Structure 1
């Protein structure tokens, strides 16, 4: 077996940073327990603990890894944990960091899913999710502004974000094509040396970050195990590819193509490949397919699941577990609905997150080699800008389908947009969403506090109205 897959205890002595595997295990458990607040909050917690407090790695390396993770399909915060864990303690470090990051959220949302299907029609539970649903709209809008303020630093990035929004909202251009075009534009722009693709403050910040890298425990250099090794990359990729697609193939063979578990395995495996830009970008794709094509759940239920993910630790992409849970609960075949739903939740989580380890272990050594490459940084920055447009599309989609009872479609050739019927506005939801937005933007309230108050307001409204 490859030395990077031997027992973790044996690697401690070979690490130049002096951080034992046991200490790293405790730190990653702490990061997982505090990983509330969506990708931005999770990345902020990781930065505070790993960069500022523990000084494992420096600012420049942290940002370089983050930019790579934002290029990948799937949850960037979880993949960033895998990346840093791998840098510190090889393959075992990446596996442990990534798995711990997932576990609390998986267990929490599974428990909440049971509550949802058992007590979902009760006034209190219905009101709770009614309030969460309205507040989540404000949270998604806040994500647009939060990510946009970091990514849209010049006219070129603003134009890329606007183009991405128009492409996906009005012309239904696939996500991968949007991301590919943005990467090409950013790469070409950086290679051209255009002022539109760089800022003086960015260069100053980069110089300061490199100095901080030198003072980190890992240092500025590249560890031996983090250097490109094609044989190792092929071996670990083959193993993870088998773990990812093997169960899906077995289910398809024994259950058949029309079985709900086969559909869930194939759909979420496809999602793991084509959804770029983190959780909010992925949800736009999942909401359209799971609601409109498969009929596993309704638009409002998608927001209920997102409310669960926002109020529990772990990646927001855990909402996909809820989607799979409901899909199998309503079409269990010969199984008990709860058993079918639980198996679907596990299957969804498996095919969603195993590829995340694959992307990191396959690409991270080569990305480490490219640290400081201006053209690559330009491509990654352009992708982040395009993601802002994709998330804006998600926010608009949620608003249209949650705050209004009916939607009309305008279509002409490739042009296709959905518009709400204004007379069908759901006034209580609109008022709650407006109040949540006021709390987040004006009062600077935390996401958890805002969601909690909105849930209480929703319960109060349902009890009074009911």
Structure 2
């Protein structure tokens, strides 16, 4: 591969990020490890401090941190065009696959073979979420205060039905208040000193003029289509609702896909009626088996929501819904990187902000715990009701609807993933086959 004095050639950058996009299985941890190996260890396009510096910034942002890290790395090498290419190549292969799988599900989901495969896949997804909960807990719950915030977040979203954005805001406020009350500047971010190897490209230096222009451009790209949809179709149209809903998601999805899925499930299933609870599990299972960020599960949600449009064929409506969801989920990611990256040093120096974001990460643990509980109830029980105790809503499963086969598959997947650290794609595949065999044998 060719390399100029300033860094890799644009063609080599495109080729490498295309490869990353097609190989980025395994969730954020695996995707970040893949980029580290290809960009830092093998090609040495970024040194270790610079890579970790970029990663730390991306972990502070709403949205998929791995996709934003790819965008940041491309931006470091070739400015906006490099960031666009890197980010798009990270997302589009998986988006295409999940859209095709959504269409197959819409057309063939009722077939016994497909239903059996999806049954096993959904059961295994419970183990995947539990594994994510364990990993995030170990990283985020540093001390009893963070554990209290996590428990409070779980109670808030699980039993009080508090909106996810409100929980995030309250956690951030609590973290900032704790720091200011303590009066100590000890809050730091992992990854070592943010040393940028000279010479730094011109576009990486802060500029208020560039910041204003970049922000205005990407806000127009983000919200312009939303206004057009609202004007053309009306605020109550499904596509307009999806555009508005996923725009909000893009601004509050701190903690990655797992953190926001419980809120998305609540809104998409219970409020908008775009899909059923078990279909949310199906979408997550499909997203786990495709390359790209896990938050591509939202494309499945948007596809099914659009498939119910009146006046359009289900496939055409689904494609429209998937396109709208993809646009409003990922366009904001480019805004965060292109406008904010030059000011990363300023952000990292604000100690109270670091404390606030540490509290947000702790709250994310509680949100993921709620997601795990929600998935467990809908995987293991066919019927789940609710009992009210004042402001609290407690889910109550029907014991007679317990599914022992789903429990066996979920337990087996958990042992394989958490106990023996087996490859996730292999575990999901075996679970799908197990579900098919169970359906064929037991009916």
Tell me the TM-score normalized by structure 1: 0.87
Q: Which residue of 1 aligns with 2:267?
A: 289
**Per-residue deviation, residues 179-219 of structure 1 (Å, max 9, x unmatched):** 23333343454566689976xxx89x75xx33xx66xxx51
Q: Determine the C-alpha separation between the residues in 1 that align with 2:223 and 2:286.
A: 28
Equivalenced residues, count: 441
Q: Which residue of 2 aligns with 1:167?
A: 156
Q: Which residue of 2 aligns with 1:440?
A: 417
1:56 to partner: Cα distance: 3.2
Q: Determine the C-alpha separation between the residues in 2 that align with 1:247 and 1:153.
A: 42
Q: Which residue of 2 aligns with 1:122?
A: 111
Q: 1:115 to 1:136 in 2, by over 3 A?
A: same
Q: Which residue of 2 aligns with 1:422?
A: 399
Q: Which residue of 2 aligns with 1:40?
A: 29
1:279 to partner: Cα distance: 0.6
1:24 to partner: Cα distance: 1.6
Q: Describe how 1:63-462 pairs up with structure 2 within 5 A.
A: 63-190=52-179, 209-210=192-193, 219=197, 223-329=201-307, 331-371=308-348, 373-462=350-439
Which moved further from structure 2: 426-435 or 246-255? Answer: 246-255
Q: CA RMSD in A?
A: 2.5
Which moved further from structure 2: 310-319 or 239-248? Answer: 239-248
Q: 1:188 to 1:226 in 2, by over 3 A?
A: farther
Specify every segment of 5 or more residues in structure 2 that has no aligned partner in the other structure, as ranges: none
Q: Determine the C-alpha separation between the residues in 1 that align with 2:165 and 2:252.
A: 6
**Per-residue deviation, residues 57-79 of structure 1 (Å, max 9, x unmatched):** 34444344334333332212111
Q: Determine the C-alpha separation between the residues in 1 that align with 2:294 and 2:88.
A: 15
1:453 to partner: Cα distance: 0.4
Specify every segment of 5 or more residues in structure 1 that has no aligned partner in the other structure, as ranges: 1-11
Q: Determine the C-alpha separation between the residues in 2 that align with 1:112 and 1:136.
A: 17
1:412 to partner: Cα distance: 3.4
1:358 to partner: Cα distance: 1.3
Q: Determine the C-alpha separation between the residues in 1 that align with 2:272 and 2:181.
A: 45
Q: 1:64 to 1:423 in 2, by over 3 A?
A: farther
Tell me the TM-score normalized by structure 2: 0.92
Q: Determine the C-alpha separation between the residues in 2 that align with 1:86 and 1:188.
A: 35
Q: Tell me, yes or no, if the aligned pair for 2:274 and 2:304 is still in contact at 8 Å.
A: yes
Q: Determine the C-alpha separation between the residues in 2 that align with 1:287 and 1:149.
A: 25
Q: 1:223 to 1:196 in 2, by over 3 A?
A: closer
